[in-house]
Amino acid sequence: MNVREPDWAYVARSLLKVLAVTAALFLALSAAERVLTMFIDFDDERMAQVYGTAARVANPDMRLTDGHGDDEGLLETTYTLWGEPRRAGRGEGWAGYEITKNLFGTVRASSLGESSGSLGGAITSMEADLGVDRELTEKARKTIDGLPQTLDAVAVVEFAHVMTTEQLVAFNRRHGLCGGADVAYIYSPSFYDDSSDDPSLNAVVWNRAMTEDRIRADLTYQCETEPEAALKEFRRWVGLLDEGDDLSDFELNYEWLNGTAKEGVVYGLVADRWKLADLRKLLDDPEVRTIHLTDVAFDLGEIK
């Protein structure tokens, strides 16, 4: 039986053709990606600034921090935030939350976007300009008085009327409050209207530390005058947004945020790990309608 010798020249030509086609495809894909980046935002820095911050705005029930981008590509860019539920006691452990943006600009954040738990419920239940309610205030006072005043608490401080930045600075000075990472400003309550294009919109809750890791502004906290710096930083962040940014998974949109930034008033505060005794003092101020406690815990680190 005769065994035919391989045509090594033909094999070599075929191999060269395969290598040439592979190299051509690689160069074509590289060129396509370079062209697409001229029209499509693959910028990991902008992912952090816009969508990482939007996640923090829409999820005040969580402490979200230290985001990082994954490998970018033609089809999808992923940005991951680490976070934990905002509780008064020791944390339950940090988990990763992914934000993805595809080729067409659609953003998905399936594990983020809607506040939950008692803190989320307290913020969602807030309405605008409800006025003084002495019965409600007294109920909150009795609740707080019935608990040890050394407890740490997460709470929503609801104002009787909206406050301008100047009014909030005066409020801080009356009570000796210092802005910082344990204070967030509720710039707008949530919105629901099933006749609109966006029937449900999240409350806008802001803390300057939300942009600290990426925008790197001067974040030296200014104690009583912190509300001025916070509003300035919020408006600066809104200035980074485009009308085409897809914020729907966070139940936010450009018009909602832009209007809130222009209005610049505060409906209440989120107090993170304040002592009950400090919260209790605020109830004597006629500007405070009520305080919603959402979690309390002993600070075991203080026990010797």
Q: What digits encode the pLDDT tens for the residues 236-261?
A: 999 999 999 999 999 999 999 999 99
Average pLDDT, the chain: 84
Residue 215: what pLDDT? 44
Reference 109, options 63, 59, 42, 55; nearest CA is 55
pLDDT at 266 over 60: yes
Residue 214: what pLDDT? 46
Measured CA to CA, the distance from residue 268 to residue 7 in angstroms comes to 82
Complete DSSP assignment for 281-299: HHTTSTTEEEEEEEEEE--
Q: Is-contact 274 188, C-beta < 8 A? A: no
Reference 206, options 178, 170, 230, 232; nearest CA is 230
Handedness of CA 284, 290, 291, 293 (dihedral sign): positive
pTM, full prediction: 0.82
DSSP state of 176: T
Residue 59: what pLDDT? 93
Measured CA to CA, the distance from residue 56 to residue 53 in angstroms comes to 5
Q: Is-contact 131 269, C-beta < 8 A? A: no
Mean pLDDT of 87-103: 86
Q: Is-contact 205 185, C-beta < 8 A? A: yes
pLDDT at 125 over 90: no
Which residues have a Cβ under 8 Å from the Cβ of 175 and sit 6 or more positions away? 281, 282, 285
Measured CA to CA, the distance from residue 29 to residue 35 in angstroms comes to 10
